[in-house]
Amino acid sequence: MDSGAMWMRMKAHRWVYTLSILATLSVGILIGTVISYGVKGKEGQKGDATPLTLPSPQQMSNTFSQIAKQMEPSVVNINTESTIKNVHRRRGQNPDDEDGGDGGGMDDFFNHFFGGPGGQATPGLPGNDGPIRERSLGSGVIVDPKGYIVTNRHVVEKADRIRVRFEDDPPGVQHDAKVIGTDQETDLAVIKVNVDRALPAARLGNSDSMQVGDWVLAVGSPFGLSETVTAGIVSAKGRDIVPGRQFQTFIQTDAAINPGNSGGPLVNMNGEVIGINTAILSETNAYAGVGFALPSKTVVDVYNQLTGPEHRVTRGSIGITFDAVENPAIMRVYGAGSGVTVSSVVAGSPADQAGLKVGDTITAIDGKKVMKGAELVGDIASRKPGSKANLGFLRNGKSQETTVTIADRAKLFAGRLGDEQENDDESTPKQSKFGVTVRKVTPEMADRLDLPAGKGVIVQDVKPGFFAEDVNLGRGDIILEVNKQPVNSEEDFARIESSLKSGQDVVFLVRSRGSSRQDGTVFLAGTLP
């Protein structure tokens, strides 16, 4: 074998040897990788991961939950049923015009600020042309173990049946309740349930102790969802949300309040009721972050009178009126930096007898300064009829004093047919055979409503079941004529009404509330029963 062939043979052997070494190494690496993976897999199964744990509930703040558990048994769901005689009523009118009135103003106020009771209707006749049954839901709070419950007047007013459901009642169980008394001025009502056991009554707190920023809870049945609790703070105090509405200075809160919460309690962090949830400010009739509760100080005063022998609220008055909207120009013209300038004095009233005159500015009551009309009304109204008060006032820039004897507000104004929202005192209206109360249209109202001065009377109230309701007269409508005869005053209306007898046709020429001259007028007619 020559040397060249031998060299080629050796090279081939060396190549095979190299391949065998590489193959051996590859197998070794593969085996090592598998072994390593298996070892790591076993190490991952040893359970060295730290278990997750939950903190103890005691480590978190439980103030809200404690208050909720304490309050929920005292808060009730209120279900009411009422009959609506006429389904086709002309509504959808603007609630902010000066139709005045006790019921009308309050009804429209709560329709605007709370969307009404939020009920549902059940037809009584095909096509909804006849009487229907309306059901609504609200809330209330037990304040006496004997079964006395505070709620809003608009929750129970005009109800044919009121039923209450307690927290521990089985599904479907409700208790009939009766109205003990209502107060239209504050929209409060007291109802009572007769049961054979003591009920869990809520504790009342003093609303004067609350400060802006304090935490509060609202408890109730929004949209029928009972035992609902929402939290927020006191956003403002002493809030007057409708100019001229008296005896209604609210606590404002951002605790969620919705239809159905009405009548439920606003509670402080001591578990005390410091307000009754009454209204919301919303364009959609749902929660918008602004709610209002009537302070417990007002609630207690009204409750004690409604549960008294007469079941009515008595308020003092001296017989004056004033502009409810503060106007610095009035103060400057009449020479007073603050106070309440008298715009009229009722003849024979305590103010008249004490010598007060139009243009006098009341600056103090029994030495306490009076800054605005709400303070004057609140102080005088809280005093008992027959008691005396010393008034300080300015006349032509000179300070004077006089003593007045407080009168019963309802009796003092019983002869008047209505009130205007811009005035201090409201009346107890006279009811006509039509079942409607009216008052003369003021020049200011005529100008705003584009009516000829001195024309028409405005409907202040309509009594359910009477002729006016049958022909669809509504609060705020302007009556211009009755049976072709002009009606320009309360006297005109009363004279025409008295001349009509049962069985006669009656035609009202009416400017519907909220309409302008361009909208025209409408006839409302029927036969007097």
Best mean pLDDT range from 380-389, 431-440, 510-519: 380-389
State the pLDDT at residue 287: 62
Distances (CA, A) of 346 to 43, 396, 505: 98, 21, 38
| Both tokens assigned to 434 | 């039509």
Residue 401 — very low, low, confident or very high, per pLDDT cuts 50/70/90?
Answer: very high
| Residue ranges in 185-327 assigned as alpha helix (H) | 296-306
Q: E strands within 107-227?
A: 120-123, 132-144, 148-152, 161-165, 175-183, 188-193, 203-204, 215-220
pLDDT digits (tens, 9 = 90+) for 302-332: 999 999 988 888 889 998 888 766 667 776 7
Positions annotated as catalytic residues are 154, 187, 262
pLDDT digits (tens, 9 = 90+) for 7-56: 566 656 666 555 565 555 555 555 555 445 554 555 555 668 888 887 76
Q: Structure pTM?
A: 0.59
State the pLDDT at residue 115: 39
Distances (CA, A) of 473 to 123, 270, 419: 22, 49, 19
Cα–Cα distance, 382 to 367 (Å, whole number): 17
In degrees rounded to 5, what are phi and psi of residue 116? 75, -175
Q: Which of 13-22, 37-46, 203-212, 498-507 has the lowest mean pLDDT?
A: 37-46
- CB atoms < 10 A from the CB of 319, how many? 25
State the pLDDT at residue 437: 85
| pLDDT of 517 above 60 | no
Cα–Cα distance, 262 to 140 (Å, whole number): 8
pLDDT digits (tens, 9 = 90+) for 459-486: 887 887 788 888 888 888 889 889 889 9
Instruction: For the chain, list the domains and their CATH numbers.
Output: 82-313 (2.40.10.120), 316-412 (2.30.42.10), 436-527 (2.30.42.10)
| pLDDT of 268 above 90 | yes
State the pLDDT at residue 340: 87
> What average pLDDT does the chain have?
76
| Both tokens assigned to 252 | 């404002």
Cα–Cα distance, 328 to 56 (Å, whole number): 60
| Both tokens assigned to 296 | 């417990």
Place of tokens 């479907």: 172
pLDDT digits (tens, 9 = 90+) for 82-109: 766 554 444 433 332 323 333 344 444 4
- CB atoms < 10 A from the CB of 344, how many? 15
